[in-house]
Structure 1
Amino acid sequence: MIPIPEPDPDPGRETPNEWTTVERPLLQQLAAMGWEYLQGDLDYPQKTFRENFRDVLLYEPLRHAIRKISAAENLDEITIDRAIRELERTDKPGGLERNRELTEKLIKGVSVLRATGGDSPHSRNVTVRFIDFDPAKQDNNSFLAINQFRIDYIGRVGFVIPDVILFVNGIPLVIIECKSPSLAETDDGGFWKPIESGINQLLRYANRRKEVELEEGVEHLFHWNQLMVSSCYYAARVATYGADYKHYVEWKDTTPFSEAEVLAEIGRSGAKLRSQEKLVAGMLRPANLLDILRHFILFQTAEGKLIKLCPRYQQYRAVQKAVVRLTTGKIREQSDKQRDERGGIIWHTQGSGKSITMVQLVRKLRTHPTLCGFKVVVVTDRTSLEQQLQDTAKLTGERARPDKDDLRPGESSSHMVKRILGEDGPDLVFCMVQKNQDREGEAVVLEYEVPVPSPRLIATDGEAGYPGSDYLLEAAENIRPGFADRQAATPNGTTKILRQVIRNEAEYPEVNSSEKILLLIDECHRSHTQGLHANLMRALPNAAKIGFTGTPIMNRDRGNTLNIFDDFIDKYSMKQAEEDEATVKIFYEGRVPLGLVENGSRLDAQVVIRFAEFTAPEQQLIMQKFATERKVMEAPKLIAVKARDMLRHYVRNILPGNCKAQVVAASQEAVVLYQKALSDARDELVREALAVDPALPVLPEEELLRRSEDERTLVAAHKDLQRVKDLQFAAVISKRHNQSADWDQWTDTGKIETNIANFKKPFEDEDNGKSSNLAILCVMKMLLTGFDAPVEQALYLDRRIVEHDLLQAIARVNRKRLLKECGYVVDYIGIARELRSALTDSEEGGEAGPRPPTGIDGVRDEIPRLRDRHLKVLEVFRSRGIAELMPIDPCIDLLEDEKIRAEFLNRLRAFLASLAIVMPRPEAMPFVRDAKILGFIAKVAANLYRDNQLNLEGVDRRMKRLIDEYVSAQGIDPRIAPVAITDINFFDQVNRKKKARARASEMKHALRHQIRLRYDEDPAHYQKLSERLEAIIKQFKDDWIALEEALRKFIEEELAREGKETVPGLDPRLHAPFFGTLKAAIEKEKGAELKSEDPEFKEVIDLTVATVDEIREKIRLVDFWRDPHSRRSLENSVYRSLLRSGKIARNTLAELATRVVEQARNLHRLLVWGNGKHRN
């Protein structure tokens, strides 16, 4: 090991760069925390414990660690080798599947057969562990940071050099890319540009860049990878293997050390920790990294795809705090408060991974020396929540009880839960709080008949709340328009029966008095402040309790909730989640369709007609009652009007982003009516879209924004007509006694589960079984709590909801999803005041008391951000002397610089993201023209410079369509890829350019792209080609006419070479690439060029043919390249053939054999299917 180079003693002499600003401080902080440092070597693999540069495991440190960890087993070298081979072995085809299998081996170890030792055949099997996770035995592990670690490609020429790789016992667990902060857009303090550049590089190493089809990385480096980090010091982001750009997040906590302690550790007392320093301290401290690997890394299936999860900082912090509370808090007998003090409340806002935190806590408990024996009881108050948590809990790897093995004949569910809770042992048990009610015992039914005075007899004084007003409202409630018989009323009034059932409940029995029970109570703010919780505590009197809530505790409930659960363990608010981009921002929009006002006046008239015998104040009171209660909300005509408006809002704003929505209705009747009304509204919209004026859909976007909302909707529907036709809607309601048969399709449990599953599926997927056209779910109360569907973007509210329920409902739309920039709450009933009150009268208001709510903005609040982002993307050109976007040629020329292209792309994406939020509202109109032109510039630059990132993959679907339509209007089909130089139409495309400079630029970049694309097929040929091209470009640098002529000649020569023999007796496509490689190696050995008349020239031809024939014979096996043994065998065979030829020095044979086999892999299809006949 060597010391990390120290900074120059004179800071003024040291130039700030990636090494001095990012990488060196990173390595120094790692060293301060106990990591050893080794500088990589680009020439000698032995200096990094390897035999060759393709290896990624460091076998010597790994063997040494196995010996230390398994010292008691006294393992021999053969057994250790078997264990290492088992660590490397995997049959899984996909990268993530392979990573999951090997991660499990890292955590659990592998079972192998001893080579020697063991008293019996059974004891011959031994479990070998590769990492010692015991905090007390951390010295058994080695922690090594290597920078500039070279890894060669397998199957082709070249290598990558990640900035820093962290090895635990020789196993690469963490990969870090460092980027200079000077790449950042310093005008606004944003550092996304260098971060994105680092992420892009990590994805390239891992073969995970979606825009690149060819293999470009070193995927074997990621078989055991756990964390991927991109840092520029002032900003740092982390994610797991398989994650996309949007999944990289910041780590903002240094648990278990304070920031002051970390500053002292790195020698920067008194300053503020930077983003990189927090991440390193919080995640990469040796103990923390092993903790994260063992307890917090999870694999989960989402939308039919496997994903890997690493913890967010608030999850890790909450689990650590909970463990401290559980181990240091007083049990009930010790407490002065006469309650268990080992628990508390974890408030993590909806969408931030609360249920995953529960799983991580359980996993942590199971390995803790004093908590591993705890029975963990997960308590919910809703069936849907219980099912969701059970599904998530499978990630713990434990059996979740009760299950089918717990069923007993004739035993009720409540008795089964009691029996399981009474058993000792570290189970994971799920129960609903309602199951802790004792419903046995005799019941007394009390009935009493009371008079209801005629409303006409009530004296009123015009004041709210006058005596008797409740009776009046009840009378009005019982007289439904169209159904009531007004003649049934008598002068003496009517009567009603009050009924009350009083059950003689026995005191709930104690089930288990153990102190080794932990209750994890979901949504603890709801039913657990009531009598149901008392039953639970009588059953388990000495249990520790941790309450989880996704919504803030309302101020009036705070005292009671804290009295039950004790103080907060951890908090993570809606505002924090949005700032961390753990959730998307929610926008509020209030809508009152004109049809509702019209129907409202009709309602007034109906009240006057149907309640003629009532006085005017009485009629007003009845009307107010109806206007605020569900009876009006169930009126079919009103629902039809609202459903029509909802669907059209959905088609304009939500459907273009391939997202879905929920409608929240006032009652089950209203839910069913909404399902039908939405279907009718869809059919109406389709008919209108088919009959739309043909001139309307082709209007420029600026003109369309001046049209009415209905016209804009028709255009949106017309452009996506088949999708609109296919839209489906479903109601989700609970079963009721004596319900209509028509409701069965919406209340059947199996059908509800199917509808929920289909709703969560995307509209489009490569596998049709994983897609669904179910676009909108209509609900009353179901699916408003704990329902996790990232595809949901809009919530249409037509039921009055308040406080916790409202905050939980709106959080349905805040889950992150690719291309989803925000969520929408669309209000049809007027809950703006309730929403503001809920946010203010809660913990979101802060410890200092109520304050204005944060986190819920109107769409218009995005307009200043849109304006700012528009100016910033224009500034890319204006700051470099280009004042106008038109004509575009100066902009296109400027984007030849790769750094400027990256800056332009980042700012353009931000601008289009804001525009997508504001569209299709008229306020977007001033920005649409520039969006089209900027998108057009990006498309042209993408084609010209062969830069796939400029194709704007991942941009909102509406923005992409807007740009594509503009591009098409300029005579370019945006779906057609750039034409290759080998294409017969290549020069036709070039000749469309009006200027020599543009034509030369097109040819120059097309040639460079062709050389990059095919380099690995024939490195010798394409290296020469590249050198010739660059010489021509340099020679005619500023003479565009001469450069154009030279490049045309160059391309024509290259095309003339294609398909024709260049060496007699060799197939130009099959043999020539290998001939070039072997000839170049022999020429290098001789120090002179081989000519066709040289005797050795013919010998190289024969050697080429023999080598190619041998390769073709071996690689015909199915999945040849997937088998490392087969590849090594081929390399050995080629090595021996070259050795026998006597033409190449022995010390270069191994490298040459590897290059030849790598060429063979790149030419696999041609070698297997081509003719390749040697012609004498």
Structure 2
Amino acid sequence: PQLFLYSQILIALSKNEAKYATTGTPMEFWAFWKEQKDVENKVRDIINTPLASEKKDRLFRDRFKYVRKYFDALEAEGGREVTEQDRVVHALCRPERLLDLTFHYILFDAGEKKIARYQQYFCVKKIMDRITTIDNMGKRLGGVVWHTQGSGKSLTMVMLAKAIALEPTIDNHKIILVTDRIDLDDQIYRTFHHCGKELEQARTGKHLLELIGGHKERIITTIIDKFDAAVGAKDVKNADPNIFVLVDEGHRGQYGPLHAKMKKVLPNACYIGFTGTPVMKKHKNTVATFGGLIDSYTIDQAVEDKAVVPLLYEGRHVEQKVDSESIDIWFEKITEKLSKEQAADLKKKFATTDQLNKAEQKVMRIAWDISEHFRDNWQSTGFKAQLVAQDKATALMYKKYLDEFGMVISEVLVSGPDDREGEEDIYKENKEGIIRFWKVMMDKYGTEKEYNRQIINAFKYGEIPEIIVVVDKLITGFD
């Protein structure tokens, strides 16, 4: 394979199908290319323009002389229709596009050579066109990029950083990557680091201010809360218009009040929001805040391109009415296939059912349904599951009942009791239980970072846990 180390783009062509990749790309990651402008007529003109006689003389000479009659006969037949092969050869192999892709849009991710998919290429082009435009206030234009989850949003950000660094009209640039979760901050730091980019991760609000004011660091990662701490620490601002703030999952609610604090510290920066979540009506203010929609790549497009697998929905119904009669009916249903001994053992576990509040009874029944469904359909297949709870107290409740039923092995991954957690007010939750759980986790893992790392790695690469229970973590942007 070393023979092909310097090959930049590999293209597999047939008349009606074409895919491209780089050396070492697994078959399932070879990609389709789609132009975003209609070039059909242009390609048709190119393929149906006869070669000049002197070009034929050079092309069909020596041992290839015998082929000339064949091509002359093809030309004499007249024009032909454009094929997929024609489209992709024109899209990827014309000199200016080939050199652009090779120089700007190939990177190494943890040693793996990767090339931009078409949506990444055109997205970066659109962003660069936008940010090199200066408004009448002397600021660069920003906006929002909506690319569905799984379509390579983080690598698009890496390619954008490279494009900004190579743009001759932008001097002494600085790029700040902003997320709202510690795990996402770590993830985007790793992505850039694996792609060979030198960057600094802000540890505190004070450290963030030092990095923003410094001249050495070109790329910085931070969670948005550190801007809150930075503004509270001292009145510092950097009015440089060559600062680019790339905000991951910029539609989320907590960006609202903190966005103003970012702008206080960086009043002239160019803000670009990236989201994998559909931009709904309620998020239109967010889009306007950033400066409008720059580009979109929907889940339907990604499924059509085979970039992601389709999302399938199966509704599950658990009886909403919770009383002693419905509990008895439900108990009979779930024990009908059990022996008398198994049913008696299960009844002991449900002995306290009448003493539970309605919310907990509902969680218990859903936990049973999930346990049965996973055991019967997915256990030992290599597939795993994610259970999203409405708050931390409910997440711990699910874990309790999943463990009691004993059909699946689960873990809970939540943030600490004092951390920001979506739009939920943690003081409304059963805080004592959460604090007890958190103490056990910290005794076991030492730090929140290590707790996150070990649970996520076990979920990704180990046999257990089979189910991971979360609230806001690992839902958007989880690699």
In the superposition, the TM-score normalised over structure 2's length comes to 0.75
SS at 2:312's partner residue? strand
* Matched residue SS, 2:311: strand
Cα gap change, 1:668/1:528 in structure 2, threshold over 3 Å: closer, same or farther? closer
The reply on whether 1:330 has 2:134 as its aligned counterpart is: yes
Question: 1:890-905 counterparts in 2 under 5 A?
Answer: none
SS at 1:226 equivalent: coil
| 1:554 alignment partner AA | M
Q: Does 1:732 align with 2:413?
A: yes
> How many angstroms apart in 1 are the aligned matches of 2:396 and 2:476?
20
Partner of 1:235: 17
Matches within 5 A, 1:453-602: 509-527=235-253, 530-558=256-284, 560-593=285-318, 597=321, 599=323
Q: Which amino acid aligns with 2:365?
A: V
**What runs of 5+ residues in structure 1 fail to find an aligned partner?**
1-218, 335-339, 408-412, 442-505, 604-629, 684-726, 762-770, 789-1176
Distance 1:420 1:271, change over 3 A: farther
Question: Which residue number corresponds to residue 419 of structure 1?
Answer: 210
Q: Do the aligned partners of 2:276 and 2:476 also contact (CA within 8 Å) in 1? A: no
Q: Is the 8 A contact 1:230 1:236 kept in 2?
A: yes
Note closer, same or farther for the CA distance 1:639–1:249 as it changes in structure 2 (3 Å cut): same
Amino acid at match of 1:292: L
1:666 corresponds, among 390, 415, 433, to: 390
CA, structure 1 residues 332+254, in 2 after alignment: closer, same or farther (shift >3 Å)? same
Q: Quickly say closer, same or farther: Cα 1:439–1:333, change in 2 above 3 A.
A: closer
SS in 2 for 1:676: helix
Structure 1 position 756, deviation (Å): 0.4
CA distance in 2 between counterparts of 1:632 and 1:281 reads 64
Change over 3 Å in CA distance of 1:548–1:600 after alignment to 2:
farther
Is 1:297–1:308's contact at 8 Å kept on the other side of the alignment?
Answer: yes
| Structure 2 SS opposite 1:333 | coil
**2:124 paired with 1:309:** no
Closer/same/farther in 2, CA of residues 438 and 574 from structure 1, 3 Å limit: same
Report whether the alignment pairs 1:654 with 2:384. no
Contact map agreement 1:252 1:275 (CA 8 A) in 2? no
In the superposition, relative to structure 1, how do residues 435 and 587 fare at CA in structure 2: closer, same or farther (>3 Å)? same
SS in 1 for 2:169: coil
Contact 1:376 1:427 in 2 (8 A): yes
Matches within 5 A, 1:605-644: 632-633=358-359, 635=360, 637-644=361-368
Deviation at 1:781, TM superposition (A): 1.8
Contact 2:390–2:471 under 8 Å retained in 1 = yes
Deviation string, structure 1 residues 275-294 (Cα, Å, up to 9, x no partner): 32332233223333333333
For 1:1006-1045, list aligned pairs within 5 A: none
Distance 1:783 1:538, change over 3 A: same
Cα gap change, 1:369/1:582 in structure 2, threshold over 3 Å: closer, same or farther?
same
Say if 1:379 and 1:430, in contact at 8 Å, map to a contact too.
yes
- Which residue of the partner structure matches residue 88 of structure 2? 279
- CA deviation string 1:639-685 (max 9, x = no partner): 333222212222333335411111112332221232232233335xx
| Structural RMSD (CA) | 3.2
Partners of 2:478 and 2:166 lie apart in 1 by: 30
CA contact (8 A) 2:5 2:23 kept: no
Give 1:394 shift: 1.1
CA distance in 2 between partners of 1:631 and 1:343 (Å): 50
SS at match of 1:655: coil
Query: Which deviations, in whole Å up to 9, do the C-alpha atoms of 1:866-912 show, x marking residues without a partner?
Result: xxxxxxxxxxxxxxxxxxxxxxxxxxxxxxxxxxxxxxxxxxxxxxx
The residue number in structure 1 matching 2:200 is 401
Deviation for aligned residue 1:753: 1.4
Distance 1:598 1:318, change over 3 A: same
Structure 2 CA distance for aligned equivalents of residues 579 and 632 of structure 1:
44
- 1:535-562 Cα deviation digits (max 9, x unpaired): 211211211122111122212432x234
SS, match of residue 774 in structure 1: coil
Task: Give the secondary-structure state (helix, strand or coil) at the position aligned to 1:585.
Answer: coil
Alpha-carbon separation, structure 2, partners of 1:510 and 1:776: 45
Measured in 2, the distance between the counterparts of 1:289 and 1:523 equals: 32
Q: Does the residue aligned with 1:386 lie in a helix, a strand or coil?
A: helix
Change (3 A) 1:295 1:774: farther
User: Aligned partners of 2:401 and 2:230: how far apart in 1?
Assistant: 41
How many angstroms does 1:422 deviate by?
Answer: 2.0
Question: 2-side partners of 1:285 and 1:746: how far apart?
Answer: 57
Counterpart secondary structure, 1:532? helix
Which AA in structure 2 matches 1:290?
A: L
Larger Rg: 1
- Asked whether the equivalents of residues 662 and 777 of structure 1 are also in contact (C-alpha less than 8 Å), the reply is yes
CA contact (8 A) 1:578 1:584 kept: yes
Post-superposition shift, 1:740?
4.7
The match for 2:475 is: 784
Find the counterpart in structure 2 of residue 775 from structure 1: 466
Q: Does 1:429 align with 2:217?
A: no
Q: Which letter does structure 2 place at the counterpart of 1:654?
A: W
- Does the alignment pair 1:356 with 2:184? no
Check conservation: 2:178, 2:222, Cα contact below 8 A.
yes
Does the 8 Å CA contact 1:663/1:777 hold for their aligned counterparts? Answer: yes
Q: CA deviation at 1:755?
A: 0.9
What is the 5 A alignment of 1:1078-1093? none
CA, structure 1 residues 743+414, in 2 after alignment: closer, same or farther (shift >3 Å)? closer
| Pairwise CA distance, 1:533 | 1.1
Pick closer, same or farther for the CA change 1:414–1:254 going to 2, 3 Å: same
Match of 2:451 among 751, 760, 769: 751
1:247 matched residue in structure 2 = 29
Could you tell me whether the CA contact under 8 Å between 1:360 and 1:396 is conserved in 2?
no
CA distance in 2, matches of 1:290, 1:631: 66
Partner of 1:1121: none
Residues 345 and 566, structure 1, Cα contact 8 Å, conserved in 2: yes
CA contact (8 A) 1:730 1:746 kept: no
Alpha-carbon distance change, 528 to 545 in structure 1, aligned in 2, over 3 angstroms: farther
Instruction: Please list the CA deviations of residues 1120-1148 of structure 1 after superposition, one character each: whole Å capped at 9, or x if unmatched.
Output: xxxxxxxxxxxxxxxxxxxxxxxxxxxxx
Deviations 1:116-164 (A, max 9, x none): xxxxxxxxxxxxxxxxxxxxxxxxxxxxxxxxxxxxxxxxxxxxxxxxx
Using the alignment, how far apart are the partners of 1:271 and 1:646 within structure 2?
Answer: 58
The number of equivalent residue pairs is 404
Q: Secondary structure at the match of 2:137?
A: helix
Number of the residue aligned with 1:838: none
Match runs of 1:692-771 below 5 Å:
728-736=409-417, 739-746=434-441, 749=448, 750-761=450-461, 771=462
Residues 200 and 217, structure 2, Cα contact 8 Å, conserved in 1 = no
The answer as to whether partners of 1:731 and 1:746 remain within 8 angstroms in 2 is no
Instruction: Give the C-alpha shift of residue 318 in structure 1.
Output: 0.6
1:332·1:542 contact (CA, 8 Å) conserved in 2?
no
